[in-house]
Chains A and B, each alone.
Chain A
Amino acid sequence: MKNSKLTSPEKLARLKGKLLKQRQKQRPIITVCAGTACVACGCVPLTAAFREALKENGLEDKIEIRTTGCHGFCERGPLVVLQPEGIFYQQVKPADAKSIIEQTIQNGELVEKLLYRDPQTKQVLTHEKDIPFYSKQMRLIFGMNGHMDPTSIHDYIALGGYAALARSFLEMQPEDIIEEVKKSGLRGRGGGGFLTGKKWATCRKAPGEPKYIICNADEGDPGAFMDRSLLEGNPHAVVEGMIIGAYAIGSHDGYVYVRHEYPLAVKNLNIAIEAAREFGLLGENIFSSGFDFDIKVSRGGGAFVCGESTALMASLEGKIGEPRAKYIHTVTSGLWGKPSTLNNVETWANVPMIIEKGADEYAKVGTEGSKGTKVFALTGKVNNTGLVEVPMGMTLREIVFDIGGGIIENRPFKAVQTGGPSGGCLPESALDMPVDFDTLTEIGSMMGSGGLIVMDNLTCMVDLAKYFIHFLQEESCGKCTPCREGLRQLHHMLEKVTRGEGGVEILDDIERLCMVMENASLCALGSSAPNPVMSTLKYFRNEYLAHLEEQRCPAGVCKDLITYSVIEENCTGCVVCKRACPVDAIEGEKKEVHKINSDICTRCGICLAVCKFDAIFVE
């Protein structure tokens, strides 16, 4: 395999031509999503079943099975898409493999029960592109996922991969690349929204050698998984972006810092890097240009704070992941005190597209201040959970209701949380706001990593604020006083609120403490930690007041303020709840109304879940 090196851009182009021809020949392809969620609901036995069925029908050589990264619509997994037609089957079981092959592949008939039925219109839809979940999206970054095997560099090249790299080396000087990225208006997708081109320019000019470039794949937001899916499903896009960046900045050493719980991402990334080396796209003398660059993959140790730039660099150096003051920026003095550029996974994945399409074309998508698309992890109490990619500036309403299909069981919408633990909760009145960096910050939240968690009337906003503060308390590095001590106290205070204690005055104490943390913390973990609290206080103060003044949790969540009881009229005396109760808190004879003893009840919710007659009442 030594001669597989692509020593020039022309060789890359020739290889692409050859691969495309092959692809044409092989045609029908069964794509099986092998993203994390689809694996979790059984795509591995499904793939085996397909192979089996192909063999039975003597089709192994005529039809290809391709396992891909996440298609985004995890809610309906395991997903199967038949290409080139784009026939979309959902929730496919191994037992269905046979009928798909026999009916659709061989006879051109659709398997009706596997097609997607729009819950609103009841319409049955055949093609991926017609499904509202997809049709409203703009899948510029994620689109490729569904069309390639992430472990195959051939697939990536056939789809136009590494063309941008060839273009950079062939037609552009490092300065031109930086200029192009500046002109595109690309802003960092890791949270802060910092202008990528500007960062690169400063790093390029900074004195000191060597220079490092780093990809931040720590993805610490406890409710987001798009960086993971990108690395798992399309690692070459990130690698290509990094090579282009390295060339532009003048760096020869790259690092990817991956969250420790992402073994598949690490595996696929390493396969991609290995393949890129083999093809001469990484390593020495790339495209015979004399430019050297290579990438090392580093697994994180499990600390949210290590997503922060200086802590991440400390961790790469093998140290405790404590941040340091950034009055001198990491672009000037970062990893081992050298100029370093850190960008998020999605930021790097945007780069090839900018170079390939040109900055002007790229910048046509998005808003004045935020260009391009953004991937969100749309989750919570929404019908279509999954990864969605939309142009910047789309409204939250479109994302939640058109793409997300609205709230589960048509319950009322209450809030949407953006930006993870450093972000904020936005109420219904914000639904028509365009989603971009500046708007979200203005209304008291932030883009953050792109987690988008939808909440309904059964979510308690005080409990949610407490949840984030608890998370941050566990993750605070403990270096500085306001964050370490402040989070502990803030958590105490919120616990009091969820117990209905402390009176209304406690809200002033909370606000005062938040002010101190915001102003005095060393890093953004501490200084933005008040956001979930302050935003819920701003938009949902009434809920805090209900806890404090009436000792009532309107959403029925806070265990100290709720009681479980039996609605006598509904209870049939079926004994199901009595049997299910783990602590024997329910009394009652067969066919008689049951009764819950609140002194024993641990508010575990089992009886509510098992009762078939809606006879359990929570207040």
Chain B
Amino acid sequence: MQLSIDGKSVTAQTGEYILQVAQRNGIEIPALCHHPAVEPSGACRLCMVEITHADWGGWKGLVTACLYPVQEGLIVSTANEKVRKVRAGVLDLLLARCPESELIQNLSRQYGIEKTSFIPRPEPDLCILCGLCVRICEKIGASAISTIGRGIDKIVSVPYETEENYACIGCLACATICPTGEITFTQDEQTRSIWGRNFELVYCEDCGIAIGTPEQLKHYSERSGLDMSYFTKCDRCRNREAAARFARITF
């Protein structure tokens, strides 16, 4: 199907969202809570764009690009004045929430905001509550974290109380996906620490680099149905071995 984004005619498939199509066509829309690995959620409200349609009798409105399904003949403006104003407002609010986040500072600057016009949060952290960590942990981790509380007091956390309540497998997916660097971890030769918990490490049989935590590998094995013996090497060594085997077979 055809639609128009900022005056440019583009092609799209049923089931796609505006954001995907725009990105494919090199049109940039800021998006903080979106990641191709997880389902879209529409939490940050930064990817607002204005849409209208020839058949809508002049009606137009703002929607989130990450969640709005494309349709034939849709007319999208990604950067008109109204859109920029609303986005600037959202960024201003995020900057008040996380004044120390470099990511938010940089984005805000692009919208002409150096300093938030609102009252900054007392004792701010870097979490913008985009929810990516929770979604990725549900998808490839162990559903070990969740939002706790509601409204302005909402935080992301492992369950309360003792460590043995944590289901975290130390896979680091959450820390990797976090756009602001709020989730931190440490790792030395012996241990990896995340969410206040220490994990042992498993090393590659061949090259000896750390390939993960025992809990993590067990989880992968259970999920994929592959035997634990599959998880004894790092990806590179496994690929090298497979390539060698492949070479033996064909030549």
* Chain A residues within 8 Å of B, Cβ to Cβ: 303, 320, 324-325, 327-328, 473-482, 484-489, 492, 509, 512-513, 515-516, 519-522
CB closest residue in chain A, given B93: A485
Q: In the complex the two chains form, what is the Cα distance from A303 to B153 in whole Å? A: 15
CB closest residue in chain A, given B149: A478
Chain B residues near A516 (CB-CB < 8 A): 85-86, 89-90, 93
Q: In the complex the two chains form, what is the Cα distance from A492 to B43 in whole Å? A: 23
Q: Are B150 and A477 in contact (CB under 8 A)?
A: yes
Q: Is B67 close to A, CB under 8 A?
A: yes
Taking the closest CB of chain A, its distance from the CB of B208, in whole angstroms, is 43
Q: Are B96 and A478 in contact (CB under 8 A)?
A: no
Q: In the complex the two chains form, what is the Cα distance from A482 to B151 in whole Å? A: 11
Chain A residues near B85 (CB-CB < 8 A): 515-516
Q: Are B62 and A520 in contact (CB under 8 A)?
A: yes
Q: Is B195 close to A, CB under 8 A?
A: no
Contacts A479-B43, A481-B43, A520-B89; is A474 near B151 (CB within 8 Å)?
yes
Taking the closest CB of chain B, its distance from the CB of A305, in whole angstroms, is 8
Q: Is B68 close to A, CB under 8 A?
A: yes
The listed residue (A478, A509, A515, A521) touching B45 by CB distance below 8 A is A521
Contacts A325-B64, A327-B63; is A481 near B45 (CB within 8 Å)?
yes
Chain A residues near B128 (CB-CB < 8 A): 481
Taking the closest CB of chain A, its distance from the CB of B19, in whole angstroms, is 13
Q: Are A479 and B131 in contact (CB under 8 A)?
A: yes
Contacts A482-B45, A484-B129, A522-B43; is A476 near B89 (CB within 8 Å)?
no
Q: Is B187 close to A, CB under 8 A?
A: no
Q: Are B150 and A303 in contact (CB under 8 A)?
A: yes
Q: In the complex the two chains form, what is the Cα distance from A482 to B90 in whole Å? A: 6
The listed residue (B86, B147, B150) touching A520 by CB distance below 8 A is B86
CB closest residue in chain B, given A490: B118
Q: In the complex the two chains form, what is the Cα distance from A478 to B117 in whole Å? A: 21
Taking the closest CB of chain B, its distance from the CB of A285, in whole angstroms, is 40
Q: In the complex the two chains form, what is the Cα distance from A487 to B68 in whole Å? A: 25
Q: In the complex the two chains form, what is the Cα distance from A522 to B46 in whole Å? A: 11
Q: Is B249 close to A, CB under 8 A?
A: no
Taking the closest CB of chain B, its distance from the CB of A468, in whole angstroms, is 15
Taking the closest CB of chain B, its distance from the CB of A123, in whole angstroms, is 52
Q: Mark B134-158, 1 if CB is under 8 A from A, else 0.
A: 0000000000001101111110000
Q: Is B54 close to A, CB under 8 A?
A: no
Q: In the complex the two chains form, what is the Cα distance from A158 to B154 in whole Å? A: 52
Taking the closest CB of chain A, its distance from the CB of B104, in whole angstroms, is 11
Q: Are B147 and A325 in contact (CB under 8 A)?
A: no
Interface size class of B (residues with CB under 8 A): 35 or more
| Given A473-B151, A478-B149, A478-B150; 17 other pairs, CB 8 A cutoff | A320-B147, A325-B68, A327-B68, A328-B69, A475-B151, A477-B150, A480-B45, A482-B90, A484-B152, A485-B93, A485-B96, A485-B97, A485-B118, A489-B96, A516-B93, A519-B82, A522-B43
Taking the closest CB of chain B, its distance from the CB of A419, in whole angstroms, is 22
Chain A residues near B118 (CB-CB < 8 A): 485, 489, 492
Chain A residues near B69 (CB-CB < 8 A): 327-328
CB closest residue in chain B, given A303: B150
Chain B residues near A475 (CB-CB < 8 A): 151
Q: Is B44 close to A, CB under 8 A?
A: yes
Taking the closest CB of chain A, its distance from the CB of B181, in whole angstroms, is 18
Contacts A476-B151, A485-B96, A488-B152; is A513 near B43 (CB within 8 Å)?
no
Q: Are B90 and A478 in contact (CB under 8 A)?
A: no
Q: In the complex the two chains form, what is the Cα distance from A477 to B117 in whole Å? A: 24
Q: In the complex the two chains form, what is the Cα distance from A593 to B180 in whole Å? A: 64
Q: Are A327 and B45 in contact (CB under 8 A)?
A: no
Main secondary structure of the interface of A (DSSP, over half): helix
Q: In the complex the two chains form, what is the Cα distance from A519 to B63 in whole Å? A: 9
Taking the closest CB of chain B, its distance from the CB of A121, in whole angstroms, is 50
Q: In the complex the two chains form, what is the Cα distance from A476 to B146 in whole Å? A: 17
Q: In the complex the two chains form, what is the Cα distance from A170 to B94 in whole Å? A: 59
Q: Is B175 close to A, CB under 8 A?
A: no
Contacts A327-B63, A522-B42; is A482 near B89 (CB within 8 Å)?
yes
Chain B residues near A481 (CB-CB < 8 A): 43-46, 90, 93-94, 97, 128-129
Chain B residues near A324 (CB-CB < 8 A): 41-42
Chain A residues near B21 (CB-CB < 8 A): none
Contacts A489-B96, A512-B89; is A519 near B43 (CB within 8 Å)?
no
Chain B residues near A482 (CB-CB < 8 A): 45, 89-90, 93
The listed residue (B86, B119, B146, B151) touching A492 by CB distance below 8 A is B119
CB closest residue in chain B, given A489: B118
The listed residue (A477, A492, A520) touching B90 by CB distance below 8 A is A520
Taking the closest CB of chain A, its distance from the CB of B129, in whole angstroms, is 7
Q: Is B234 close to A, CB under 8 A?
A: no
Q: Are A478 and B151 in contact (CB under 8 A)?
A: yes
Q: Are A519 and B86 in contact (CB under 8 A)?
A: yes
Chain B residues near A320 (CB-CB < 8 A): 146-147
Q: In the complex the two chains form, what is the Cα distance from A484 to B43 in whole Å? A: 10
Chain B residues near A488 (CB-CB < 8 A): 152
Q: Are B93 and A489 in contact (CB under 8 A)?
A: yes
Contacts A324-B42, A327-B69, A522-B43; is A485 near B151 (CB within 8 Å)?
no
Q: Mark B103-126, 1 if CB is under 8 A from A, else 0.
A: 000000000000001110000000
CB closest residue in chain A, given B147: A320
Interface centre among A488, A509, A512 (most CB of B within 10 A): A488
Q: In the complex the two chains form, what is the Cα distance from A283 to B153 in whole Å? A: 44
Q: Is B48 close to A, CB under 8 A?
A: yes
Taking the closest CB of chain B, its distance from the CB of A218, in whole angstroms, is 16
Contacts A489-B118, A520-B62; is A484 near B89 (CB within 8 Å)?
no
Taking the closest CB of chain A, its distance from the CB of B112, in whole angstroms, is 14
Chain B residues near A476 (CB-CB < 8 A): 150-152
Q: Are A480 and B44 in contact (CB under 8 A)?
A: yes
Q: In the complex the two chains form, what is the Cα distance from A474 to B96 in whole Å? A: 19
Taking the closest CB of chain A, its distance from the CB of B22, in whole angstroms, is 16
Q: Are A325 and B94 in contact (CB under 8 A)?
A: no
**A-B complex: 8 closest residue pairs judged by Cβ atoms:** A516-B89, A478-B154, A485-B93, A478-B151, A476-B151, A520-B45, A325-B67, A489-B118
The listed residue (A474, A489, A519) touching B62 by CB distance below 8 A is A519
Chain A residues near B86 (CB-CB < 8 A): 515-516, 519-520
Chain B residues near A303 (CB-CB < 8 A): 150
Q: In the complex the two chains form, what is the Cα distance from A492 to B154 in whole Å? A: 19
Q: Are A478 and B48 in contact (CB under 8 A)?
A: no
Q: In the complex the two chains form, what is the Cα distance from A474 to B152 in whole Å? A: 8
